[in-house]
Amino acid sequence: MVNTKVTLSGLTLDNPVIPASGTFGFGYEFADIYDINILGSISCKGTTKDSRFGNPTPRIAECTNGMINSVGLQNPGVDKVMSEELKKLAQVYSKPVIANVSGFSIDEYAYTCGKIDKAPEVGLIEVNVSCPNVHNGGMSFGTSAESAAAVTRAVKAVTTKPVYIKLSPNVTDIASIAKACEEAGADGISLINTLLGMRIDLKTRKPVIKNKMGGFSGPAIFPVALRMVYQVYEAVSIPIIGMGGVSSARDVIEMMLAGAAAVQVGAANLVDPFVCKIIIDQLPEVMEQFGIENLTDIIGGSH
Amino acid sequence: MNNGIYKILLNERIAKDVYKMILGGDTSAITAPGQFINIGLEGFYLRRPISICDYDDKTITVIYKVVGQGTDELSRLRPGHTLDILVGLGNGYDCSKSGNAPLLVGGGVGVPPLYNLCRTLIGHGKKPTVVLGFNTADEVFYEDEFKSLGAEVFVTTVDGSHGTKGFVTNVFDEIDYDYFYTCGPMPMFRAVNEKAKTGGQFSFEERMGCGFGACMGCSCKTKNGYKRICKDGPVLEREEIIW
């Protein structure tokens, strides 16, 4: 009998598989198609201080082995997320969830994180300093070590739960940014967010996405994500949640060997709504195939 | 929503760039006319959402237009080939809102979902009138099929090569109706909204990520708040639409 349990800053997960923010809504709609209590945790839809509609449509473009999205953080705002969405999720999911927070100023990050920290359903806060979709948004915070650290300090000052900083891959030296977040008090690092990309329609000769550019995700970015998790693992000693193109139990193990303590599954949920269940079901078999008894033993095992 | 493997039983061209496909498999997840399926295609990352034209216990009929590489690939698949499909997506049309004389208005590849709707309404004892709009005669399909159901059918073409010359709204004055259902392109929707005298329902199209409400890729603003075309739609009530 293999052991799939992993731990994130004192939070024990039955398995390392977590649907990534923005690809699973607030989870409860997936409860109609399978028992979502099997999930290690759920990273909820990105939440901001105020309600947001997000970007104009089209917000989606297809790519070879991936997709571009430019949703723009559509969400009902932190108050409604706490009073409605997290309550609905709690009716069908009994484990602690990950709140995913975005902001447009350091004050806003602190305000939203300070509020959602008090939600009893939340076990961990993931701070998105990297969303490339919003013109005046996260991009600037995630692209310099100083501003990422400033967000980290501000959020840590007003929260009691573990704070993980979700980093942007659209940078030259991700390890130095991760290191700055660790020094500023981050309890962990999530990576990677989407890569900035675009597609052009040959018929209209215009960008497919209304906002021209968006976040590229899917299996095509897995090697980039894996490389960055590997680099960050060497730079920090706090836990890493690895993500970017993960679509199978083998991908989960590969991501953990690079240094991830847990793994998020993103775009794959949109193509196959059952993918997290399939990965969790297959994980023990793949562990046995590669002689893994305890998943925690392999974290960073490739270094 | 169901996920299953479906076998292609028929896949044939019925008009210019338009194909009819019959798929064999479980149809129990379909609950209303106007719902859609999301077809996985080898070599393409995202699924292709296509409206359900008709269904019975064991088969689903879809009619689609070749508009890009994905639908082109779909049109080349032969009977016997199997496809991974999500079935029973979207809200579909609400037949209970219809009076005795519903008007069904379809434009181009907006026509197919009206077929099962028409059949269902007739099954409820209603007397539907159907207006099918196309650009040219070689694009026309399903005129006889709607007639066979027992509906009164008008066809319009923009160039006048078949039926009445002009747009679907050109024949509205000849029709006595007490509610309408429509599916088609946005310019047609605007014309229908200007011309129609009753309440009605519009079925929208949008580029989708997932097709089942997870990604917020196809959101729109309505008078009743933000809605996802794939999950809260594709059918919206006339009163809630912001033009």
Which CATH architecture does the domain made up of B2-89 adopt? Beta Barrel (2.40)
Q: What is the ipTM, given to two decimal places?
A: 0.92
Taking residues B34-39, what's their average pLDDT?
98
In this structure, the strands spanning A66-69 and B82-89 are: unpaired
Interface test with B, best of A55, A60, A208, A247 (most B CBs within 10 A): A60
User: Given an 8 Å threshold on Cβ–Cβ distance, is A271 in contact with B40?
Assistant: yes
Q: Does B220 touch chain A (CB under 8 A)?
A: yes
The two tokens of residue A203 are: 């018929």
Which residues lie closer than 8 Å to B190 by C-beta, 6 or more apart?
Answer: B243
Angstrom CA distances, B142 to A245, B12, B33, B87, stand at 43, 14, 17, 23
Q: Considering CB atoms only, which of B70, B208, B231 is closest to A60? A: B208
The letter for the amino acid at A194 is T
In this structure, the strands spanning B59-65 and B2-15 are: unpaired
The CATH number of domain A6-298, selected from 1.10.340.30, 3.20.20.70, 3.40.50.300, 3.40.30.10? 3.20.20.70
Instruction: Report d(CA B123, CA B118) in Å as an integer.
Output: 8
pLDDT of residue A138: 44
User: Given an 8 Å threshold on Cβ–Cβ distance, is A59 in contact with B219?
Assistant: yes
SS3 state at B68: coil
Query: Taking CA atoms, what residue in A is nearest to B42?
Result: A65
Tell me how many degrees the CA angle A266-A122-A89 measures, rounded to the nearest 5: 65
The two tokens of residue A48 are: 């901001």
Q: Does B4 touch chain A (CB under 8 A)?
A: no
Instruction: Report d(CA B130, CA B35) in Å as an integer.
Output: 19
What are the residue boundaries of the structural domains of chain A, listed by start? 6-298
Strand partners, B228: B219
Report H helices in A38-173: 78-80, 86-92, 106-116, 139-142, 145-156
Report whether pLDDT(B58) > 90: yes
A131 is catalytic: yes
pLDDT tens for each residue of A238-282? 999 999 999 999 999 999 999 999 999 999 999 999 999 999 999
- Determine the distance from the C-alpha atom of residue B25 to the mean position of all C-alpha atoms in its chain, rounded to a whole number: 20
Q: Does A25 touch chain B (CB under 8 A)?
A: yes
Report whether pLDDT(B222) > 80: yes
The letter for the amino acid at A249 is A
Instruction: Report d(CA A85, CA B157) in Å as an integer.
Output: 48
User: Given an 8 Å threshold on Cβ–Cβ distance, is A270 in contact with B216?
Assistant: no
Q: Please identify which residue in the block is written with the tokens 């701070």.
A: A127
pLDDT tens for each residue of B227-242? 999 999 999 999 999 9
User: Given an 8 Å threshold on Cβ–Cβ distance, is B219 in contact with A32?
Assistant: no
pLDDT tens for each residue of A4-17? 999 999 999 999 99
Supply the DSSP symbol for A82.
Answer: I
Chain B residues whose beta carbon lies within 8 Å of the beta carbon of residue A271? 40, 45-47, 210
User: Given an 8 Å threshold on Cβ–Cβ distance, is B206 in contact with A54?
Assistant: no
Q: Please identify which residue in the block is written with the tokens 């690809």.
A: A23
Percent of chain B with pLDDT over 90: 100
User: For residue A133, what pLDDT band results from cuts at 50, 70 and 90?
Assistant: very low
Instruction: Report d(CA A44, CA A75) in Å as an integer.
Output: 10
- Cβ atoms of A50 and A105 closer than 8 Å: no
pTM of whole model > 0.80?
yes
Taking residues B52-71, what's their average pLDDT?
97
Query: Taking CA atoms, what residue in A is nearest to B86?
Result: A272
Give phi and psi for A38, each to the nearest 5: -75, -20
Chain B residues whose beta carbon lies within 8 Å of the beta carbon of residue A74? 216, 219, 226
Q: Does B213 touch chain A (CB under 8 A)?
A: yes
User: For residue A57, what pLDDT band results from cuts at 50, 70 and 90?
Assistant: very high
User: Given an 8 Å threshold on Cβ–Cβ distance, is A53 in contact with B221?
Assistant: yes
Q: Does A269 touch chain B (CB under 8 A)?
A: yes
Q: Considering CB atoms only, which of B1, B207, B218 is closest to A33? A: B1
Question: Mean pLDDT: which of A26-30, A103-107, A264-268 is highest?
Answer: A264-268
pLDDT of residue A139: 58
Q: Count Cβ atoms below 10 Å from residue B39 Cβ, excluding itself.
A: 24
What are the residue boundaries of the structural domains of chain B, listed by start? 2-89, 95-203
The letter for the amino acid at A137 is G
pLDDT tens for each residue of B160-180? 999 999 999 999 999 999 999
User: For residue A130, what pLDDT band results from cuts at 50, 70 and 90?
Assistant: confident
Give phi and psi for B218, each to the nearest 5: -120, 35
Taking residues B102-123, what's their average pLDDT?
97
- Strands annotated E in B45-198: 48-55, 59-65, 82-89, 102-107, 129-134, 152-157, 164-165, 179-183
Domain B95-203, CATH class in plain words: alpha beta
pLDDT of residue B203: 97
- Cβ atoms of A255 and A262 closer than 8 Å: no
pLDDT tens for each residue of A166-186? 999 999 999 999 999 999 999
Q: Does A218 touch chain B (CB under 8 A)?
A: yes
User: Given an 8 Å threshold on Cβ–Cβ distance, is A59 in contact with B217?
Assistant: yes
Catalytic, out of A44, A113, A131, A181? A131
